[in-house]
Each structure stands twice: as structure tokens, then as C-alpha cells.
Structure 1
């Protein structure tokens, strides 16, 4: 029986399977149990915490409840910290949880304890599930753990790196594009969470030389709908055009919407931007750092395609550093500029001034529509 189970892919990596199940539970607004040594915590995403959950936990005698928040959110609340922390919840008060987790005007009026390893793992699990980085946690009530998915904290913390090692090509086909008729799409499974990633090979790049490459994070609003709030769609199409007109290249289309925060959190940040926040302050108010993205799996995708040296199309120094750190040779980097609009100038200036992006506003002005 054991060999049959192993052959079906269950036994060899039970830890990864438990993380995948826990991600699904969190995204479905259900509680999970995180174990770290002798500690067992019930974890509920704050955005899913409601009267029903509060009633069940209180009725079962849950104790030691806390709200675990990331450092950027604590800083916004007026309790500056470099690491995540936990605020005690003497009562499972939904209004207080919502206020502390989400409302930009809230200020903290209670002490903050350093987050424990299990609590840090809870925030990492929420990040993998692409939900708001705020978790209601408590000790496991008697008899409750049997009905919940249980996952080890160390398996959660090791999950991202393990996914990079599991990157696999699962499909590829020619897909002619406007202005780039000789184009192939290659789909990878693994890398970042449970999502597929796509490499678009434009033309016939010479893999024995440095290949033109762009790491492009998916942007539904900009890439598909032509949002005026960013320059993503322009960058995407301009890169493919330049590759097609040149010696070819590879564009990696990475499912990292909203700088890795996910589409729902991106919309929350947009709502704050409409109130006057800049792009990074809006993310920080929700509990996110400047950029949640990782690019180690992008380098692994390129290596599987036979690429060892790149000429990278980017304005983001983080992408250049990530490719170098992953062992690829970055022989050159080139700028990719979109069109400035009244709606995106502040966004572009924030990327330049706060994240160090290489954005030349004189060059941008030359691209402005008449």
C-alpha cells in the first residue's frame, strides 16, 4: 500500500501537500492550524473573520487570542517596528480586528508583542494565499484541531524555495502576435505559489549569446484594460515589439499582480490611492513592504530554456540584482518607458524616488502624446 501511495505523489512530500491545502483553506475563508514545536494555533485571515467564526471560537473556549500584523501595518498604526508583532485580543471583537487590520486612520492603543515563529508562519501563509497580511490567532480549543487542516510552520517557511525547485514545463505552442508573428508561449508550473507562469519566446533568440529578456509582472488593469494609472501595458507591448524587430528575446509573464500582493489587495491599495496615498504608502497601510515579489523562479525558468546570459529590459534594479544573484550573467540593461499620463506621473515618480527605479522624466516627456 505504501508504494501505491508514494506512486500517487502523496507520501514523499507531505509537508508541501499540507501547505497547498492550507493555502486553499485560507483563500476559502476557513481556519487552519499551524504547528511549531509544542505550539498549536488556530489561524484565521483577518479579512475573513466574522461573527460566525468569533462565536465558534468563543463557544469552544479559545484562549490567548491575538491579531498578528506585519511591520509596515504596525508602523502605520503608530507602533514602529522592524518585524511583525501581535496585539492581544481580550475579546474577539470583529470591529476592532477590522479597524486594526484595514482602516488607514486607526491608531494603536495597546502594547505589541514580538511575533512568535508560529505567528510569523501565519503571515507567510497569508502571503502565499494572496490575502491581507493580518491574522487572528488563538490557542486550539479542545477537539477543534481534528476538523481543521494542520500545517507545520517550517513547511510554510520552506514552501517558496521548494516551488522554485519544482518548476516544470507543462505546455508550449506557437502563438503569433500582432507585430511579432513568430512567437511561442511556454507554460511553467510552480515557482510562485500555486500559479502557472509563462515565457513568451519572440523570434529565434541565439541562446549561445546574451538574450534580450524582460521579467514582466502581470497587471490586469494595465496590460489588458489600458489603465492610465501605470505604464505596464506600454512596457509589455513595447518590449515585444523591440524583440521582434531585433534579434528576438524572451519575455517572462509572471503572475505577481500588484507587486506580488494579488489583485484584491491591489484594488484595496487603489482605493487608498484615490484618497491621496501614493502607491507605496497605500501598500504600507495594508501591511505590505515596498515590493513582495521574488524573481528567483524567473531565473530558474530562463535556465530551463537554455539561457545563461541576458540583456535585461527593465527600469527596476531589484530585477537586475535578482538575476545576478541567481547566477545569470547580466551583460547589459536597457530602459523600458511607457507614456506619461496625468494619472501615472505621481506613480512613476514614486517608483523612481522611493524604489530606485531608473526613470528619466525627460525621456518620458518626449513620449508624451501631443
Structure 2
């Protein structure tokens, strides 16, 4: 069935322009410039990590004493509001970079002022930060005022962006790429799904698409996949899965650009710093303002469907991946564990995944390792 936008050229053009507006807004946020969010509750939004003296002076002239720092619920809980379940806004009578850094990032930060409920504009500003993969803390100036040349985007476009990106996913290139453990492999590159980033389907061997296909959804892990970090088991899972598929009738590895459980590389390294100071992987993410997992897998299902897959044997320890594929209309006939090495450096990480996120990991045999 055709979508309403494909039947209505005007609606299609409007949606296309809305996507372009969000993509430009993401570039502005990542470059450290403010973006105007329009709609019923107009605001000007700036990533808290981008605040410097010059930007503070510009926003202060626009905001007077009306600016606020919007923080997600996990960060507010870390700041001392133990029962907080919704995002909130802290008043910023002055744009003090030191205070904002303490509230947005530091482990020793504590709430120092009343926290107001987040407005619709605040929620859109936080959503924009999430899409840009910057720290989930945003300086908001209410109203229509904006510095000259500021980009504007509607809040509705921001919220609709992920769904429309998944719907527009398309393959753009493919070629044989022999791997050490799977010489008969083909890389298929898709554009879309998550922001402006490319996604890769690695087709290993000659899987039979008329039946269940062995599949792994593997989120990119620069530190583990490329550099062999001992803090996780990601590289082991990736290479082990590819080798197993090569020896077992073939399969597909989807290599998804969702670093750090969807938080982005910079935030992942921030979380690593917090882990070095004693927090586990989920505690570190929560201290930064993130939930347990920001990843989406609807576009992964779209990639599989584009390749002709309808039924899956999933290689994963994460029950959420199977649920996401089934919700997107694929049949998951079996889930098989994807194992990696257990070491003194990663056992606390693996234990947290088992205990906090329900991953299927049997670590009892390694209880003697120093955590």
C-alpha cells in the first residue's frame, strides 16, 4: 500500500523538506551553534557541551534571565532527585559555564534550584540532542528570538525524523569483501536508518532466503571491534559470529552505526571515564543522562526485508533485539547465544548486562575473577 505522502506530491515535498531541515539542524548542533525550534512552544536550543563565553554572551542578550537547562530524568536522579521519572528544567538566571557543566556532567553535581516540568519545546530540544549524539543536556531560551542566521526547524519534524529515516532506507553499493574467517562475503551498504550514517549488511556465504536465515545485529564498537578493547566482548562476538556463519550455511551480520548503545562515540568515552572511577556501564550512562539503551532496530528489520529475509535465526544475547524484529514483522524462529571471552577487564560489564538488561549470559563459572 502506498503511503499518503506518495499519493500526495505536496505532502511528500513537505516531508522531504522537513527531513532536510532536521539534517541541517543536526549539523548545527554538532558544530556548537544554536537551533530555533518552532511550533506551539518555540524555543532556541544549544547543546550544553557547546557553551563558551561568546555564545553565553549572545544567548544572555536574547534570554535575559529566562534561560533554563533541560536535563533528562536519569541525570536528575543522579543530581539527587531519586524519584524523578520525567525530564525537567533548571532556571539559569545567568549562563555560568561552570555551573552548567556541574549540573550537566560532573559526578559531584547536585540540584541547586527548583526543577520545573519540561515543556513541549524542551522535549523537542532534548530529542534533537539525542539525534545529534551530543550530551543529553540542552540550554533553552524560550520564545522566537534567535541570533541572525540561526537555522529553524519544527518540533514535529524532529520527532518524525527517525521514523521517516527508517522508511527511506535504501541500498547504495555492494561488493565482495573476503574476510579472514569468512572469505565468501559481500558487503551491502545502506543509507538511512540513523541520522546521516551508513549501515552495512555483511552477507556471508550463500544463505537460503526461503527459510530462516542466521542473523546478527551488531552495533558498531570502535574500541572493541577495531582496537581489541578488553572492556567488552564486542569484537569477539563479531568475528566469532562471522566465522560460525561461514562454517554453518551462511548468514547476515548487520553492522549498525549505533556506537555506545546509541549514545555516540564521544558519550561512550565519557562513560568509560566514569567506569574508570567505579561506576558500571549502565550507572555511567545514567550519570550522563541516558536510559539503559537508546538503540532502535526498526531500520535493521527494513535492511533484512530489502535483502529478502522474512524469517530469522538470531545470534544474540539481547532479548530486545528479537522483540524488535518481531514487532517489525519478521519471524524469529530461534535465538542462539553469541559468546565472547570473559576476562577480569570485562566481567563487571558482562555482569551488568545480565543483571540490568536481561542479557542471556552464564557467568557463574567466572565468579572467581576479580571484578
TM-score bracket relative to the smaller structure:
over 0.9
Q: Does 1:137 align with 2:140?
A: yes
For structure 2, which runs of at least 5 residues remain unmatched after alignment?
1-8
Secondary structure in 2 matching 1:260: coil
Aligned to 2:163: 161
Cα distance change of structure 1 residues 12 and 103 upon mapping to structure 2, 3 Å threshold:
closer
Deviation at 1:58, TM superposition (A): 2.0
Q: How does 1:218-233 map to 2 (within 5 A)?
A: 218-233=220-235
Give 5+ residue unaligned stretches, structure 1: 1-5
Equivalent residue for 1:53?
A: 55
Instruction: Give the C-alpha shift of residue 194 in structure 1.
Output: 1.0
1:274 corresponds, among 264, 276, 285, to 276
Which residue of structure 1 lines up, in the alignment, with residue 190 of structure 2? 188
Find the counterpart in structure 2 of residue 111 from structure 1: 114
| Conserved 8 A contact 1:174-1:182 | yes
User: Cα 1:236–1:363, aligned 2, differ >3 Å: closer, same or farther?
Assistant: farther
> After superposition, what is the alpha-carbon deviation per residue over 1:38-89, rounded to whole angstroms, capped at 9, x for unaligned?
x321111000011111111223454520000011000101123111111111
- Deviation of 1:267 (Å): 0.4
- 2:256 matched residue in structure 1: 254
Distance 2:364 2:85 in 1: 37
Tell me what 2:331 maps to: 329
What residue number does 1:88 align with? Answer: 91
108-117 vs 313-322, greater mean Cα deviation: 108-117
Find 1:22's aligned residue among 18, 22, 25. 25
Any residues of structure 2 matched to 1:260-339 within 5 Å, and which?
260-339=262-341
Asked whether the equivalents of residues 173 and 184 of structure 1 are also in contact (C-alpha less than 8 Å), the reply is yes
- Aligned partners of 2:120 and 2:109: how far apart in 1? 26
Aligned residues: 358
Partner SS, residue 259 of structure 1? coil
> Counterpart of 1:197?
199
TM-score by length of 1: 0.93
Aligned partners of 1:223 and 1:354: how far apart in 2? 23
Q: Which residue of 1 aligns with 2:6?
A: none
More displaced 10-residue stretch of structure 1: 9-18 or 123-132: 9-18
Structure 2 partner of 1:101: 104
Q: How far is 1:160 from its partner?
A: 0.2
The CA deviation at 1:92 is 1.2
Change (3 A) 1:61 1:69: closer
Q: TM-score, normalised by structure 2?
A: 0.93
**Aligned: 1:125 with 2:147:** no
State the distance in 2 between where 1:218 and 1:141 align.
39
Among candidates 170, 173, 176, match of residue 175 of structure 2? 173
